[in-house]
Amino acid sequence: MTATELKQFYEKLYFHEIDARDKIQGRLQLSLTVLLAVGGALVFLIQNFDYQTGAWTPIRSMFALFVCVGSVTLVCAIMFFINAFLSGSYYFLPDSSQTADYKELLDRTYAQYKEREQLVSEAMDQYLVGYYIEYAAFNTRVNDRRSGYVYRCNGATIVAALVFILAFLSFYFGDLDKGKIKQPTEVSISKPIDVRMIENRK
């Protein structure tokens, strides 16, 4: 592999990791949507669960267990999501003004040499390749770490969704929905009733 091919290889690696960063961002948006949907299911179950009427039956205990396990798993998924979202510090190439300043510095440094253009070109290649190697390696580690967090987030979200499905089944078939329970009719007397005896005279 020639020096030019090696430079192109490192350049491709660098830009591949930058593209991978954008793909991870897309995966995080999908994960956030699923997390919100699963969180909405949990809120629905908690809001509609009847806490007051009826004894604490095995079906109620089962529902409470599923909700607790699912909630813990959902919290773990949220923590993995936060880690994947916040651990996204990347290295980028210097901006064009910095590169131009470095090129001018090289021109001044090698101005007295006959092979000035070749020396400047080689120094610029080393300058860029050094950044490509260092930054691509760093960005690879960042992407690998973030991808691992996204993978664990998705796994925990799937487990939480399955547990909440079991909670919903016990909620539905165990008649735990407080909206389906008939409330006793309250009768109140606002005025005293006037009771009079009427004699039946013949």
Indicate if the pLDDT at residue 75 is higher than 70. yes
Gap between the Cα atoms of 84 and 138, Å rounded: 16
Name the residue ranges covered by the structural domains of the chain: 3-173
pLDDT at 89: 86
pLDDT at 64: 86
pLDDT at 48: 82
pLDDT at 147: 93
Indicate if the pLDDT at residue 194 is higher than 90. no
Gap between the Cα atoms of 156 and 150, Å rounded: 10
pLDDT at 150: 94
pTM of the model: 0.76
pLDDT tens digits for 11-50? 899 999 999 999 999 999 999 999 999 999 899 888 887 7
Gap between the Cα atoms of 30 and 191, Å rounded: 62
- Answer whether 47's CB lies under 8 Å from 116's CB: no
Residue predicted with more confidence, 195 or 136: 136
Closest to 14 (Cα-Cα) out of 130, 125, 174: 130
pLDDT tens digits for 83-102? 999 887 888 988 889 989 98
pLDDT tens digits for 124-178? 888 899 999 999 999 999 999 999 999 999 999 999 999 999 988 888 877 766 6
**Residue found under tokens 């009719």:** 185
pLDDT at 53: 63
